[in-house]
Amino acid sequence: SQNTRLTQLGPPSKMASSSSRPGSAAGEATTGKCEIMLCNETSVGRGPRSNLSLCSGHLAADVERVRLLRVDTEARIAALRAGLGDFEPRRQRMASDVRELEVVFDSLEAELDAWRVDIVDSARGRYESLSSKIAACKHVVGYAEAIRAADRSGDYRRVYELAAQVEPTLELLNPSDGSGESGEGGGFMADRGNLTDICSAVRNARYLLDRQMSPLAGDRPASAPPVELRRTLRNLGGEIECLAVCSNTAGFHCSAAGGSRLVAKGASEAQRPLGPACLFVSYDLNERSHHLLVIELPSGQRHRLDAEIDWSLPISDLHCDSSAQRLYISQGEDGCTVVSLSGNVLHKINANSLEHKLGAASAVVSGRDQLFLLDGKEKRLLGIDKSDYSVSADFDLGNFFTGRPWMGGLAISGSRVLVADKGGRSVHKVCSLTGRLIASYPTAGAADSPQLQRPTGLAVDSRGVVCVSDSWGQTVQLFLADGSTVHVLGIDGQPGGGEGQFDGPQGVGLLEPDPLSGQRLLYVADWRNQAVKEFQLY
């Protein structure tokens, strides 16, 4: 580095001579001919620059070059000397800035801790308040039978006493005048639906902080977009639809020459370990391709994944559980097949194996302990235990899915599941614990909300940024929990094959972080362009 070079430059008195020959002073007596090619004059001295025995003419020229070097060096040193007076004040200011930055970040850290306490305490307070109200509600409900018994026996005095005892609690839980502690009317009844997505908002704060801090760190200018195209993987052998990202390929191998199927451990001499990450891509049914395409990352080398599934049926979704090294292949009414990264079938999820009604496995996503399977035919979201593939939850989504039962992809963020509603041109956020609707996008209150035409693929990064492909709108939209748009990739309503265009974007997936670079990468299956586009999220 430049600093290293400067520190290695010693004081002039200690610097070694550049001459490798003794007696290099200009004009030092020498014998013989001038060492310049084609010059036969007698040498009169050794050149100070060339260190050659030179004749008088060549020696004078060599000395002149040294003189010019001296003049230039002195001029440059003089310029540095003239500016030296400014350097020290600048250094002092920079030292002060560094100290101030440390103080500011300490203050910011303390403020974040304070916000954490305030927000968590507020959420905990609401939780405890609701818990106490539920307990009170259960207690009040117990009065109903006693009141009915007193009424049946004609003991109206007892009815009055019981009603009077329970009235204060009833008024608190469900005010008769519509007022309540929440300030929104309805008391306990209002609290049941007063759900806010605090966790997603806090996650989004990380994105906003990234956007604010990156220019200050010199990483990117403030005007730079939050997502940029890195490359396009073309000529994939046909129109592609679904896409899954795998960040853990340890123990799996491929042909050193490429083009062969993936295999598990026990590589032969002709095989090598698979790259650190890969994409699994499905083809359109009309392509009649009886395999999945595997794209190694970052090399882009292609392989195939064979699996014993019914290739005459369309694949509606792909999802990879990287930690478990399992790939989930959804095929509608045929259910969902679980395979290893080498294509070995591990389990078949259908109505028979679940011992539960399943109309059509439209999409699948993996959480920490559960799979979530979208039944597009019945408009239901099933929670499935990953250890034994038993049904652990069954939520009816029909109350907020509108129009025809066209359902797209799934994504998971914390305890929230996002569902693409193709028919309703919306994305719904659902609580994975209760099945209750938290929000729908685009939101009515956000002026810049994306106008979705046919939301298809979904992915959510660790900062809560939602990425949704719009296969009819020819875009990929990025938005936050409040519905505000982060960025739009592609040109709305204009299909094309250019670098900034899509022609039927379908599946999307996130590699976060990339095992090699640590970057946050978004992949989009570009259907008719027969390509996968790789973007970097900032």
> What is the per-residue pLDDT across 111-125, written as a single tens digit (0 to 9) for each?
999 999 998 998 898
Of 209 and 181, the one with more pLDDT? 209
Considering 172-176, 258-262, 467-471, the range whose residues carry the highest mean pLDDT is: 467-471
> Smallest Cα–Cα separation from 254: which of 240, 267, 243?
267
475 strand-pairing partners: 470, 490
Given a contact cutoff of 8 angstroms between Cβ atoms, the answer to whether 521 and 247 are in contact is no
Average pLDDT over residues 14-23: 44
Strands 326-330 and 317-321: antiparallel
3-state secondary structure of 534: strand
pLDDT of residue 362: 94
Look up the pTM and report it: 0.80
Considering 94-103, 191-200, 467-476, the range whose residues carry the highest mean pLDDT is: 467-476
pLDDT of residue 88: 84
Distances in Å between the Cα of 146 and the Cα atoms of 58, 139, 140, 214, 275 are 123, 12, 11, 66, 70
pLDDT of residue 23: 41
- Torsion angles phi and psi, residue 279, rounded to 5: -110, 140
Distance CA 160, CA 143 (A): 12
Query: Would residue 166 be called left, alpha or beta, if left means φ above 0 and alpha means ψ between -120 and 50 degrees?
Result: alpha
227-236, 261-270, 402-411, 457-466: least confidently modelled range = 261-270
Confidence of residue 207 (pLDDT cuts 50, 70, 90): very high
Distances in Å between the Cα of 457 and the Cα atoms of 360, 422, 471 are 17, 10, 9
**Residue in the structure block whose two tokens are 């039944």:** 375
> What's the farthest any 2 CA atoms get from each other in the chain?
142
Count of residues in the chain: 538
The CATH class for the domain spanning 227-537 reads mainly beta
Tokens read off for 437 = 């609707």
pLDDT of residue 13: 52
Write the DSSP symbol of residue 508. Answer: E
124-180 pLDDT, tens digit per residue, is 988 898 888 888 888 888 888 899 999 999 999 998 999 899 888 888 777 665 554
Query: Would residue 325 be called left, alpha or beta, if left means φ above 0 and alpha means ψ between -120 and 50 degrees?
Result: left
Distance CA 302, CA 299 (A): 9
168 cis-preceded (ω within 30 degrees of 0): no
Is the CA virtual torsion 469, 471, 475, 479 positive or negative?
A: negative
Average pLDDT over residues 285-293: 95
Confidence of residue 187 (pLDDT cuts 50, 70, 90): low
Distance CA 441, CA 477 (A): 11
Average pLDDT over residues 485-495: 92
Q: Is the pLDDT of residue 403 over 80?
A: no
Distance CA 28, CA 260 (A): 74
Given a contact cutoff of 8 angstroms between Cβ atoms, the answer to whether 53 and 36 are in contact is no
Tokens read off for 116 = 């954490």
66-80, 205-219, 268-282, 331-345: least confidently modelled range = 268-282
Q: What is the mean pLDDT of the chain?
A: 87
Q: Is the pLDDT of residue 194 over 80?
A: no
Given a contact cutoff of 8 angstroms between Cβ atoms, the answer to whether 442 and 484 are in contact is no
Given a contact cutoff of 8 angstroms between Cβ atoms, the answer to whether 24 and 46 are in contact is yes
212-255 pLDDT, tens digit per residue, is 999 998 888 989 999 999 999 999 999 999 999 999 999 998 87
Distance CA 25, CA 29 (A): 9
